[in-house]
């Protein structure tokens, strides 16, 4: 839990640069670092805004987490851990970009905080550096932890029967994925269309109007193709390499990415953040190519069914989905990183292909779209299916292991806190003397 809270604090503190109307004062000293009343009030305000709650006194919880962060920072500095300026700037750019998207544009952000973007970036450098150092120190404490099978079993036995979590119905499946090919004629037609749009903009038409009318990006078309402020790491490399070199108002050449083909117009650049518009066109795949791909999969599965080739080997050799082909076709759930999928985590076509299969059965070839919205043809083989049930070691070992790992991390962190507090100067303002901290060492 502490690892989750620290990450959350890092996220929220970056958006707490607006001064709150409080008379500021030091409420805690941890080693050579201090916690200010404004730090607590800012976090409290952010938690309330986002509906985040904890058991007990929220402000006491926030104070304890901030003191823990300062304790980590003390140790990180003692151990000479480092973060680069680039790491700090990347975090600031990414978070400010998200905040600019929420508030509308840079001008509104600057008006809201009463500071220029560059002033905000400068103010955020030190706290962001401190937060990243604390995160690195925490990773040093818990990053190499492992839980043994006996620890997992013992943890499971310690859970009261009436407190066992309910696990939803899940499926595991293997897949062979193929992308129908785009004809060269279609590819050239899309490029020509985008070049035509570029020419129209150069002759005076508004890029935003063309994006609304023609862009095939459902997330931005209605906004005139505007992406909002983003950093390099937020964009695919082919897109960012071109976009970051544009001048205000300039329109790019045609750019190809995994999503399709684009033209890009620079709106504004602020330091390492850019706001651009784009028009996306996706080449259409002919019915003939889809039929051709389905026939290939059909022929491949006939060979598998004759036991001339295992499904896993076929997936490794012929699947075009990199995530699963290197795992004998076992599909990974993008939401959890495990191989188990709840029904509502599957696209409709894949769910219906699996729905009536028995364990070990292989579906007929079918079409769906991948996570990037690209058309794919695939076949699936059902590996396992479970009904909704209370957690048990046989079916839910990975989930229980993850829970045991979080408990172990908390235990390691709490022991570390207790040890460090014996040799670290800590002073807490008397107004917080009634706080019931989760680690009693803070109250000594």
CATH of 167-181+286-390, one of 3.40.50.1820, 3.30.300.30, 3.40.109.10, 3.10.50.40: 3.10.50.40
pLDDT at 17: 47
Q: What is the pLDDT of residues 308-355, one digit of tens each?
A: 899 999 999 999 998 899 999 999 998 888 899 999 999 999 999 999
pLDDT at 54: 73
> Helical H runs in 57-84?
58-78
Core vs surface per residue 295-333: b (16+ CB within 10 A) or e: ebbeebbeebeeeebebbebbbebbebeebbeeebbbeb
Average pLDDT over residues 84-106: 81
The DSSP call for residue 339 is S
Computed over every residue of the chain, the mean pLDDT equals 89
Are 167-181+286-390 and 184-281 equal in CATH topology?
A: yes
Pick the closest to residue 152 from 415, 416, 411, 396 (CA basis): 396
pLDDT at 16: 53
Q: Which residue has the higher pLDDT, 88 or 207?
A: 207
Architecture field, domain 2-147+402-443: Orthogonal Bundle (1.10)
Pick the closest to residue 145 from 320, 406, 414, 425 (CA basis): 406
Cβ-based neighbours of 322, under 8 Å, separated by 6 or more: none
Burial class (CB in 10 A: 0-12, 13-18, 19+), 4: exposed
Q: What is the pLDDT of residues 353-374, one digit of tens each?
A: 999 999 999 999 999 998 878 8
Q: What is the pLDDT of residues 111-164, one digit of tens each?
A: 888 888 888 888 889 989 999 999 999 999 999 999 999 999 999 999 999 999
pLDDT at 442: 87
Fold assignment, 184-281: Chitinase A; domain 3 (3.10.50)
Residue 11 clears pLDDT 50, i.e. is over it: no
Query: 114 has which bridge partners?
Result: none
Domain boundaries, the chain: 2-147+402-443, 167-181+286-390, 184-281
pLDDT at 294: 96
pLDDT at 14: 47
Residue 247 clears pLDDT 50, i.e. is over it: yes
- pTM to 2 decimals? 0.65
pLDDT at 169: 92
Residue 4 clears pLDDT 50, i.e. is over it: no
Q: Which of 17-26, 184-193, 204-213 has the lowest mean pLDDT?
A: 17-26
Q: What is 154-194 written as a DSSP string?
A: HHHHHS-GGGPPEEPPEEEEEEEEEPPPPPHHHHHHHHHHH
Residue 245 clears pLDDT 90, i.e. is over it: yes
Q: What Å distances lie between residue 170 and 26, 199, 361, 401, CA to CA?
A: 51, 52, 17, 17
Confidence of residue 7 (pLDDT cuts 50, 70, 90): very low
The DSSP call for residue 322 is H
């Amino acid at each position: 839990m502490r690892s989750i809270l620290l990450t959350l604090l890092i996220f929220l503190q970056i958006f707490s640069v607006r001064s709150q109307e409080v008379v500021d004062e030091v409420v805690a000293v941890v080693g050579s670092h201090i916690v200010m009343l404004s730090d607590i009030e800012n976090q409290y305000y952010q938690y309330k805004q986002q509906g985040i709650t904890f058991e007990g006194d929220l402000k006491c919880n926030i104070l304890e987490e901030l003191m823990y962060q300062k304790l980590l920072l003390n140790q990180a500095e003692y151990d000479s851990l480092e973060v680069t300026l680039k790491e700090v700037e990347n975090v600031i750019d990414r978070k400010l970009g998200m905040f600019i998207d929420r508030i509308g544009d840079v001008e509104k952000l600057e008006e809201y905080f009463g500071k220029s973007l560059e002033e905000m970036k400068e103010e955020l450098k030190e706290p962001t550096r401190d937060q990243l150092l604390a995160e690195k120190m925490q990773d040093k404490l818990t990053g190499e932890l492992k839980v043994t099978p006996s620890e997992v079993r013992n943890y499971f036995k310690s859970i009261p029967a009436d407190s066992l979590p309910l696990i939803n119905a899940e499926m595991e499946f293997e897949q062979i994925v193929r992308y129908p090919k785009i004809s060269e004629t279609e590819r050239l037609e899309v490029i020509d269309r985008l070049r035509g749009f570029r020419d129209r903009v150069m002759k005076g038409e508004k890029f935003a109007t063309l994006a609304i009318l023609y862009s095939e990006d459902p997330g931005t078309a209605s906004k005139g193709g505007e992406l909002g402020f983003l950093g390099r790491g937020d964009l695919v490399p082919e897109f960012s390499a071109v976009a970051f070199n544009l001048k205000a108002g300039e329109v790019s050449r045609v750019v190809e990415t995994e999503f399709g083909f684009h033209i890009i117009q620079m709106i504004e650049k602020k330091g390492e953040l850019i706001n651009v518009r784009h028009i996306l066109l996706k080449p259409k795949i002919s019915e003939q190519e889809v039929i051709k791909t389905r026939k290939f999969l059909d022929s491949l599965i006939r060979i598998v069914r004759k036991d001339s080739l295992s499904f896993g080997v076929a997936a490794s050799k012929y699947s075009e989905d990199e995530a699963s082909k290197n795992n004998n076709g076992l599909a990974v759930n993008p939401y959890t990183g495990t191989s188990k999928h709840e029904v509502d985590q599957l696209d409709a076509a894949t769910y219906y292909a699996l729905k009536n299969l028995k364990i070990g059965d292989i579906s007929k070839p079918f079409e769906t779209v991948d996570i990037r919205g690209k058309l794919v043809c695939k076949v699936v083989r059902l590996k396992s299916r479970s009904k909704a049930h209370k957690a048990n070691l046989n079916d839910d070992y990975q989930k229980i292991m993850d829970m045991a790992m979080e408990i172990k991390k908390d235990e390691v962190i709490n022991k570390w806190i207790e040890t460090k507090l014996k040799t670290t100067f800590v002073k807490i303002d008397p107004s917080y003397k009634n706080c019931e901290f989760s680690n009693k060492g803070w109250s000594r």
